[in-house]
Amino acid sequence: MMKNIPKIMILALVFYIYITNAFAELQTPNQEPNKPAYLKLISPDELKEDLDFLFKTIEEVHPNMYAYTSKEEFEPLRDELYKSINQPMSAYEFYKLAAPVVASLKNFHILLLPFFEEYKQYAKNGGKVFPLELGWDETRAILYKNYSSVYLPVGGTVLSINGCPARGLIDSFSRLVAAENKNANPWLIENPIFLRSLLRLEFGQVKSWNLKIKTENGTTQDYSVPSLSLNEFKSTSSAATAAWKRHCWVRPEYNTAIIKFYKWWEPEELKAFFDSAFSDIHSKKIRPVAGMIALVRFLNI
Protein backbone atom coordinates (compact mmCIF):
# COMPACT_ATOMS: atom_id res chain seq x y z
CA MET A 1 0.00 0.00 0.00
CA MET A 2 2.71 2.49 1.01
CA LYS A 3 4.57 1.96 -2.28
CA ASN A 4 1.51 3.09 -4.21
CA ILE A 5 1.22 6.49 -2.52
CA PRO A 6 1.91 9.25 -5.07
CA LYS A 7 5.38 10.73 -4.65
CA ILE A 8 3.98 14.21 -4.07
CA MET A 9 2.12 12.84 -1.05
CA ILE A 10 5.15 10.98 0.23
CA LEU A 11 7.20 14.16 0.13
CA ALA A 12 4.61 15.83 2.35
CA LEU A 13 4.69 13.15 5.04
CA VAL A 14 6.41 13.58 8.39
CA PHE A 15 7.77 10.21 9.48
CA TYR A 16 7.34 9.96 13.22
CA ILE A 17 8.38 6.33 13.67
CA TYR A 18 7.41 4.66 16.93
CA ILE A 19 9.00 1.60 18.51
CA THR A 20 5.97 -0.60 18.08
CA ASN A 21 6.23 -3.02 20.95
CA ALA A 22 8.22 -0.83 23.31
CA PHE A 23 5.51 -0.46 25.95
CA ALA A 24 4.35 -3.99 26.07
CA GLU A 25 5.29 -7.37 26.48
CA LEU A 26 7.69 -8.97 28.89
CA GLN A 27 7.35 -8.35 32.57
CA THR A 28 9.52 -10.47 34.81
CA PRO A 29 8.25 -11.69 38.22
CA ASN A 30 10.54 -9.19 39.98
CA GLN A 31 9.01 -6.13 38.35
CA GLU A 32 6.45 -4.03 40.16
CA PRO A 33 3.01 -4.03 38.48
CA ASN A 34 2.97 -0.21 38.35
CA LYS A 35 6.46 0.21 36.94
CA PRO A 36 6.40 2.62 33.95
CA ALA A 37 6.21 0.82 30.63
CA TYR A 38 9.50 2.27 29.43
CA LEU A 39 11.31 0.54 32.33
CA LYS A 40 9.89 -2.94 31.75
CA LEU A 41 12.25 -5.50 30.26
CA ILE A 42 11.82 -6.73 26.70
CA SER A 43 13.52 -9.76 25.17
CA PRO A 44 16.26 -9.35 22.52
CA ASP A 45 14.17 -11.19 19.92
CA GLU A 46 11.26 -8.78 20.33
CA LEU A 47 13.55 -5.77 20.23
CA LYS A 48 15.13 -7.00 17.00
CA GLU A 49 11.67 -7.51 15.53
CA ASP A 50 11.01 -3.85 16.31
CA LEU A 51 14.23 -2.90 14.54
CA ASP A 52 13.26 -4.99 11.52
CA PHE A 53 9.92 -3.18 11.31
CA LEU A 54 11.52 0.22 11.89
CA PHE A 55 14.16 0.00 9.17
CA LYS A 56 11.81 -1.72 6.72
CA THR A 57 9.29 1.10 7.18
CA ILE A 58 11.89 3.82 6.64
CA GLU A 59 13.22 2.11 3.51
CA GLU A 60 9.74 1.65 2.02
CA VAL A 61 8.20 4.99 2.95
CA HIS A 62 10.96 7.57 2.80
CA PRO A 63 11.62 8.86 -0.73
CA ASN A 64 15.38 9.29 -0.10
CA MET A 65 16.57 8.00 3.28
CA TYR A 66 20.22 8.25 2.21
CA ALA A 67 20.07 11.91 1.18
CA TYR A 68 22.61 12.98 3.82
CA THR A 69 24.19 9.71 4.98
CA SER A 70 25.16 7.11 2.42
CA LYS A 71 24.03 3.51 2.63
CA GLU A 72 27.68 2.49 3.04
CA GLU A 73 28.01 4.80 6.07
CA PHE A 74 24.69 3.81 7.62
CA GLU A 75 24.76 0.01 7.35
CA PRO A 76 27.70 -0.53 9.80
CA LEU A 77 25.87 1.59 12.40
CA ARG A 78 22.70 -0.43 11.89
CA ASP A 79 24.59 -3.74 12.09
CA GLU A 80 26.34 -2.68 15.29
CA LEU A 81 22.98 -1.78 16.80
CA TYR A 82 21.67 -5.29 16.15
CA LYS A 83 24.79 -6.78 17.76
CA SER A 84 24.33 -4.65 20.88
CA ILE A 85 20.84 -6.11 21.47
CA ASN A 86 22.12 -9.24 23.21
CA GLN A 87 20.15 -9.32 26.46
CA PRO A 88 16.78 -8.18 27.83
CA MET A 89 16.64 -4.45 28.33
CA SER A 90 14.13 -1.77 29.09
CA ALA A 91 12.39 0.15 26.36
CA TYR A 92 14.27 3.29 27.45
CA GLU A 93 17.64 1.54 27.23
CA PHE A 94 16.63 0.32 23.78
CA TYR A 95 15.50 3.82 22.80
CA LYS A 96 18.87 5.32 23.79
CA LEU A 97 20.63 2.80 21.54
CA ALA A 98 18.28 2.98 18.56
CA ALA A 99 17.46 6.69 18.38
CA PRO A 100 21.04 7.90 17.66
CA VAL A 101 21.32 5.36 14.82
CA VAL A 102 18.13 6.71 13.26
CA ALA A 103 19.44 10.25 13.86
CA SER A 104 22.61 9.35 11.94
CA LEU A 105 20.48 9.62 8.78
CA LYS A 106 20.52 13.37 9.51
CA ASN A 107 16.87 13.84 8.64
CA PHE A 108 14.58 15.58 11.12
CA HIS A 109 11.54 13.91 9.55
CA ILE A 110 12.77 10.48 10.65
CA LEU A 111 12.85 10.19 14.42
CA LEU A 112 11.89 8.03 17.34
CA LEU A 113 9.70 9.96 19.74
CA PRO A 114 10.66 9.59 23.42
CA PHE A 115 7.50 7.87 24.68
CA PHE A 116 5.27 10.88 24.07
CA GLU A 117 2.00 8.98 24.42
CA GLU A 118 3.06 7.51 27.75
CA TYR A 119 4.23 10.95 28.92
CA LYS A 120 0.98 12.63 27.83
CA GLN A 121 -1.07 10.05 29.69
CA TYR A 122 1.11 10.49 32.77
CA ALA A 123 0.70 14.28 32.66
CA LYS A 124 -3.03 14.02 31.95
CA ASN A 125 -3.42 11.89 35.10
CA GLY A 126 -1.77 14.58 37.25
CA GLY A 127 1.82 13.35 37.10
CA LYS A 128 4.44 15.85 38.25
CA VAL A 129 6.77 17.29 35.61
CA PHE A 130 9.67 19.72 35.17
CA PRO A 131 8.10 23.18 35.73
CA LEU A 132 10.46 25.24 33.56
CA GLU A 133 11.09 25.96 29.90
CA LEU A 134 14.56 26.41 28.46
CA GLY A 135 16.04 28.14 25.45
CA TRP A 136 19.25 27.27 23.58
CA ASP A 137 21.75 29.73 22.10
CA GLU A 138 24.12 27.13 20.61
CA THR A 139 26.30 27.00 23.74
CA ARG A 140 24.04 27.50 26.78
CA ALA A 141 20.73 26.43 28.23
CA ILE A 142 18.84 29.62 29.09
CA LEU A 143 15.99 29.71 31.61
CA TYR A 144 13.21 31.60 29.88
CA LYS A 145 10.03 30.51 31.65
CA ASN A 146 9.34 29.49 35.25
CA TYR A 147 5.91 28.08 36.16
CA SER A 148 6.72 27.48 39.82
CA SER A 149 6.25 29.91 42.70
CA VAL A 150 9.97 29.71 43.54
CA TYR A 151 11.99 32.75 42.47
CA LEU A 152 14.46 31.94 39.70
CA PRO A 153 16.65 34.33 37.68
CA VAL A 154 14.88 34.13 34.32
CA GLY A 155 17.40 34.80 31.54
CA GLY A 156 20.19 33.08 33.47
CA THR A 157 22.24 30.12 32.26
CA VAL A 158 21.26 26.73 33.70
CA LEU A 159 24.58 25.08 34.59
CA SER A 160 23.33 21.83 36.12
CA ILE A 161 20.14 19.87 36.72
CA ASN A 162 20.04 17.44 39.65
CA GLY A 163 23.83 17.45 39.82
CA CYS A 164 24.34 16.71 36.11
CA PRO A 165 25.97 19.36 33.89
CA ALA A 166 23.21 20.85 31.75
CA ARG A 167 25.47 20.92 28.68
CA GLY A 168 26.16 17.19 29.05
CA LEU A 169 22.45 16.40 29.34
CA ILE A 170 21.63 18.49 26.30
CA ASP A 171 24.44 16.89 24.29
CA SER A 172 23.10 13.42 25.12
CA PHE A 173 19.49 14.42 24.39
CA SER A 174 20.44 16.10 21.12
CA ARG A 175 21.87 12.88 19.69
CA LEU A 176 18.43 11.25 19.94
CA VAL A 177 16.90 13.49 17.26
CA ALA A 178 18.51 14.71 14.05
CA ALA A 179 18.48 18.20 12.65
CA GLU A 180 18.39 18.50 8.87
CA ASN A 181 21.81 17.39 7.58
CA LYS A 182 23.06 17.03 11.17
CA ASN A 183 22.98 13.98 13.41
CA ALA A 184 22.15 15.97 16.55
CA ASN A 185 19.58 18.61 17.45
CA PRO A 186 20.16 20.49 20.73
CA TRP A 187 17.33 22.88 19.82
CA LEU A 188 14.82 20.17 20.73
CA ILE A 189 15.10 21.22 24.40
CA GLU A 190 13.10 24.32 23.47
CA ASN A 191 10.12 22.02 22.90
CA PRO A 192 8.61 21.57 26.39
CA ILE A 193 7.20 18.10 25.65
CA PHE A 194 10.57 16.83 24.46
CA LEU A 195 12.35 18.39 27.44
CA ARG A 196 9.93 17.17 30.11
CA SER A 197 9.63 13.70 28.62
CA LEU A 198 13.42 13.25 28.35
CA LEU A 199 14.08 14.59 31.86
CA ARG A 200 11.45 12.23 33.26
CA LEU A 201 13.05 9.30 31.41
CA GLU A 202 16.49 10.29 32.67
CA PHE A 203 15.69 11.04 36.32
CA GLY A 204 12.39 9.28 36.98
CA GLN A 205 9.52 10.79 38.93
CA VAL A 206 11.42 13.27 41.10
CA LYS A 207 9.78 15.47 43.72
CA SER A 208 12.05 18.46 43.16
CA TRP A 209 14.72 19.70 40.78
CA ASN A 210 18.04 21.00 42.05
CA LEU A 211 19.41 23.66 39.72
CA LYS A 212 22.61 25.65 39.50
CA ILE A 213 21.99 28.88 37.59
CA LYS A 214 24.37 31.64 36.54
CA THR A 215 22.60 34.97 36.37
CA GLU A 216 23.07 37.51 33.61
CA ASN A 217 25.29 39.58 35.93
CA GLY A 218 27.63 36.60 36.49
CA THR A 219 26.66 35.33 39.94
CA THR A 220 25.97 31.61 40.45
CA GLN A 221 23.46 30.19 42.91
CA ASP A 222 21.75 26.89 43.74
CA TYR A 223 17.96 26.58 43.63
CA SER A 224 15.39 23.87 44.28
CA VAL A 225 12.00 23.84 42.55
CA PRO A 226 9.26 21.25 43.03
CA SER A 227 7.85 19.14 40.23
CA LEU A 228 4.33 20.28 39.35
CA SER A 229 1.32 18.79 37.65
CA LEU A 230 0.25 20.70 34.55
CA ASN A 231 -2.84 22.07 36.30
CA GLU A 232 -0.55 23.54 38.99
CA PHE A 233 1.36 25.63 36.46
CA LYS A 234 0.90 29.32 37.18
CA SER A 235 0.18 31.70 34.32
CA THR A 236 3.35 33.70 33.90
CA SER A 237 3.51 37.47 33.79
CA SER A 238 6.27 39.70 32.49
CA ALA A 239 6.77 41.07 36.00
CA ALA A 240 7.19 37.71 37.74
CA THR A 241 8.78 35.48 35.09
CA ALA A 242 9.63 37.58 32.06
CA ALA A 243 10.64 35.44 29.11
CA TRP A 244 14.20 35.16 27.94
CA LYS A 245 13.33 37.29 25.02
CA ARG A 246 16.18 38.70 23.00
CA HIS A 247 19.34 37.37 21.41
CA CYS A 248 21.29 38.09 18.29
CA TRP A 249 23.80 35.57 16.96
CA VAL A 250 26.15 36.78 14.25
CA ARG A 251 27.78 34.01 12.20
CA PRO A 252 30.25 35.62 9.75
CA GLU A 253 31.35 32.22 8.47
CA TYR A 254 27.84 31.76 7.05
CA ASN A 255 27.23 35.43 6.18
CA THR A 256 24.24 35.13 8.49
CA ALA A 257 22.72 36.77 11.54
CA ILE A 258 19.89 35.28 13.54
CA ILE A 259 17.69 37.51 15.65
CA LYS A 260 15.41 35.73 18.07
CA PHE A 261 12.96 37.39 20.40
CA TYR A 262 9.70 36.67 22.15
CA LYS A 263 6.50 38.66 22.61
CA TRP A 264 7.49 42.20 23.45
CA TRP A 265 5.48 45.17 24.65
CA GLU A 266 8.17 47.79 25.36
CA PRO A 267 8.76 49.67 22.06
CA GLU A 268 11.73 51.72 23.29
CA GLU A 269 13.48 48.67 24.70
CA LEU A 270 12.79 46.77 21.48
CA LYS A 271 14.21 49.63 19.38
CA ALA A 272 17.35 49.77 21.52
CA PHE A 273 17.84 46.03 21.09
CA PHE A 274 17.48 46.19 17.30
CA ASP A 275 19.81 49.19 17.10
CA SER A 276 22.43 47.23 18.99
CA ALA A 277 21.83 44.01 17.05
CA PHE A 278 22.09 45.60 13.60
CA SER A 279 25.13 47.59 14.66
CA ASP A 280 26.79 44.29 15.56
CA ILE A 281 25.63 42.73 12.26
CA HIS A 282 27.08 45.59 10.20
CA SER A 283 30.35 45.60 12.18
CA LYS A 284 30.83 41.92 11.30
CA LYS A 285 30.28 42.82 7.63
CA ILE A 286 27.27 40.56 7.10
CA ARG A 287 25.88 41.39 3.67
CA PRO A 288 22.21 41.03 2.71
CA VAL A 289 21.29 38.25 0.30
CA ALA A 290 18.11 38.69 -1.77
CA GLY A 291 17.04 41.45 0.58
CA MET A 292 17.48 39.34 3.72
CA ILE A 293 20.04 40.23 6.36
CA ALA A 294 18.65 38.28 9.28
CA LEU A 295 16.28 35.49 10.10
CA VAL A 296 13.82 36.77 12.68
CA ARG A 297 12.00 34.13 14.66
CA PHE A 298 8.75 35.16 16.32
CA LEU A 299 7.50 32.97 19.13
CA ASN A 300 4.20 34.04 20.68
CA ILE A 301 4.60 32.71 24.17
Where are the chain's structural domains?
2-112, 121-241, 246-299
Name the pLDDT band for 285 (thresholds 50, 70, 90): confident
pLDDT exceeds 80 at position 102: yes
What pLDDT is recorded for position 137?
A: 82
pLDDT exceeds 70 at position 271: yes
Q: Which fold has domain 121-241?
A: Pdz3 Domain (2.30.42)
Q: What is the pLDDT of residues 150-191, one digit of tens each?
A: 999 988 999 999 999 999 999 999 999 998 899 999 989 988
DSSP class per residue in 59-84: HHH-TTTTSSS-HHHHHHHHHHHHHH
> Among residues 266, 263, 228, 1, which one has the least CA distance to residue 131?
228
